[in-house]
Amino acid sequence: MTDLTDLGVKAIRDGVAAGTFSAREVAEAFNANVAAAQDALNAFIVATPEKALEAAEAVDAARAKGETLGKMAGVPIGMKDLFATQGVQTTAASHILEGFIPQYESTVSANLWKAGAGMLGKLNLDQFAMGSSNETSYFGNVISPWRKQGSNAGLAPGGSSGGSSAAVAARLCPAATGTDTGGSIRQPAAFTGITGIKPTYGRCSRWGIVAFASSLDQAGPMARDVTDCAIMLEAMAGFDPKDSTSLNLTVPEWTDGLDADMSGHRVGIPKEYRMEGTDPDILESWDNGIAWLRDAGAEIVEVSLPHTKYALPAYYIVAPAEASSNLARYDGVRYGLRDLPEGANLQEMYAATRAAGFGDEVKRRIMIGTYVLSAGFYDAYYNQAQRVRTLISQDFKAAFEHCDVILAPTTPTASFPLGDKSDDPLAMYLNDVFAVPASLAGLPAMSVPAGLNKDGLPLGLQLIGKAFDEQGVLNAGLAIEQRAGFTARPEKWW
């Protein structure tokens, strides 16, 4: 019999609906994988096997009664611990929220439960989603299930959705939620050989997601393949009146619209992404991607995104600025950690609580953000960065006059050993150099596996679409997926 944990979203959903296996059997199989891998991979902060079983039983019962099943019926998933889950600890991987149990459910997770999904647990991440390697988590870093050929060194699963990427790659869940502020879905997906899409800003409600940078944060699915991502994104997305920036648009039937025939479509290759010093393996996979899309019928055109080099600096002003304000609420007054030294006054309580509660990277970004918003620096930094952001958006608009979708690498390198960049924030930030422009412009972007490098590590290709054109992104992704023939999976060592 097939190992149920080898199945993806569509296969599980269809199998449950057909009665090939029960949702409960699926949940049990994944629960077992979660438990078995926890010590080695540290992908989950909290496992919730009972939640997975409860949801599975509800689906089995509904099926028995002949009820219509939801898009995700019987599919157990991992939930990034940035989504508030009612009655289940929600920490953003920070000490400051340790023990915090929300009385509310985020809109995205609620949508998924409504669609019949169940929760295997809360996935580890970089603290407050700030990081690219999962090393900033208060609960210990996640370890990638992948290893370099001939090495046992622990590798970064990417970040910030590193628990999500590791868990999907290691078959601990068929799919997981991620959030992407400046690459946090795409980069970990690329590092672990899975597929992840950040939809257009506003597609998924931010209500109930612990905020990092409000104007950039966007939830999306991480799964084995393009189809699974399309199914899950349909379940996650939708207008939410509780989020003022939510898009008031009907959610398209992306899954039904999947079509890998690229004839009549133009694919843009941004020349500025061909940066000096980019890993030759990456450049090679990019060329492969171009060939695959041409093979799928696409016309390949060179496009220019002239302000690309300013994207990363602008991002590292805008995101920390918003974060410095968004994280002010963690003050020890109402919930979460409170450190009240003997005889301390209010200011001293704030200082002690935040010093003890936030990790170094979070503190670094709060300080950067506070600095760039300060009187006398605001125009030079924040306003300037906003102007750059406008230029980046205009770059994309101009490029999309010549093409329908853009193809680029997801990351400048494959996964790196844990500890390699943790002392060098700038080197770490450079990981997101290809991911950040689409975030600043609010565009849909996805990473699909493109092959392995010479060390046997996965590489991802990124597709960036026009605003609201997730379909174009998914279709180009599917065309690559069908030609890349990516079947590699990490050898089980845990």
Per the residue annotation, which of 10, 80, 122, 466 is the catalytic one?
80
**Pattern 150-189, binding to another protein, x per CB under 8 A?**
----------------------------------------
Q: How far is the CB of 185 from another protein (least distance, A)?
A: 18
Among 32, 64, 328, 367, binds another protein (CB under 8 A): 328
Q: Please report whether residue 321 would count as binding another protein according to CB under 8 A.
A: yes
Per the residue annotation, which of 137, 184, 205, 324 is the catalytic one?
184
Hey, which residues between 245 and 304 contact another protein (CB under 8 A)?
245
- 238: its two tokens: 């939708």
Tell me the three state secondary structure of residue 122: strand
Among 180, 331, 404, 432, binds another protein (CB under 8 A): 331
Tell me the three state secondary structure of residue 170: coil
Query: In this structure, what are the phi and psi dihedrals at residue 184, rounded to the nearest 5 degrees?
Result: -70, -10
Which of residues 126 and 225 has its CB atom nearest to another protein in the complex? 126
Q: Please report whether residue 200 would count as binding another protein according to CB under 8 A.
A: no
Cα 125 to chain centroid, rounded: 10
Instruction: Label the pairing between strands 266-270 and 299-303.
Output: parallel
- 268: its two tokens: 């843009």
Closest to 464 in 3D by CA, of 482, 438, 483, 441: 438
| C-alpha–C-alpha distance, residues 385 and 308, integer Å | 13
Q: How far is the CB of 82 from another protein (least distance, A)?
A: 8
Is residue 112 within a helix (H) or strand (E), and if so which, with residue range? Answer: helix 107-114
Q: How many residues bind another protein (CB under 8 A)?
A: 44
| Stretch in the footprint of another protein (CB under 8 A) among 10-18, 142-150, 243-251, 480-488 | 243-251
80 is catalytic: yes
Hey, which residues between 381 and 400 contact another protein (CB under 8 A)?
382
Among 64, 346, 356, 380, binds another protein (CB under 8 A): 346
| Stretch in the footprint of another protein (CB under 8 A) among 3-11, 204-212, 288-296, 486-494 | 204-212
- 376: its two tokens: 């006398």
- 117: its two tokens: 């999904």
160 is catalytic: yes
| C-alpha–C-alpha distance, residues 38 and 34, integer Å | 6
Which of residues 236 and 452 has its CB atom nearest to another protein in the complex? 236
**Pattern 92-121, binding to another protein, x per CB under 8 A?**
x----x--x-xxx-x---------------
Q: Taking the CA atoms of the chain, what radius of gyration do you get in angstroms?
A: 21
Closest to 115 in 3D by CA, of 234, 18, 279: 234
Which of residues 30 and 350 has its CB atom nearest to another protein in the complex? 350
| C-alpha–C-alpha distance, residues 228 and 219, integer Å | 15
| Torsion, CA 156, CA 160, CA 163, CA 167, rounded to 10 | -80
Is residue 58 within a helix (H) or strand (E), and if so which, with residue range? Answer: helix 49-64
Q: How far is the CB of 213 from another protein (least distance, A)?
A: 7
Which of residues 40 and 373 has its CB atom nearest to another protein in the complex? 373
Among 241, 257, 297, 485, binds another protein (CB under 8 A): 241
Query: In this structure, what are the phi and psi dihedrals at residue 392, rounded to the nearest 5 degrees?
Result: -60, -45
Distance (Å) of CA 141 to CA 10, 64, 115, 399, 456: 30, 42, 31, 39, 22
Q: Do residues 171 and 200 touch, judged by C-beta distance below 8 A? A: no
246 is catalytic: no
Q: Please report whether residue 370 would count as binding another protein according to CB under 8 A.
A: yes
Which residues bind to another protein, rule: CB under 8 A? 83-84, 90, 92, 97, 100, 102-104, 106, 206-211, 213-215, 241-245, 321-322, 324-325, 327-329, 331, 333-335, 346-347, 350, 370, 373-375, 378, 382
Tell me the catalytic residues. 80, 160, 184
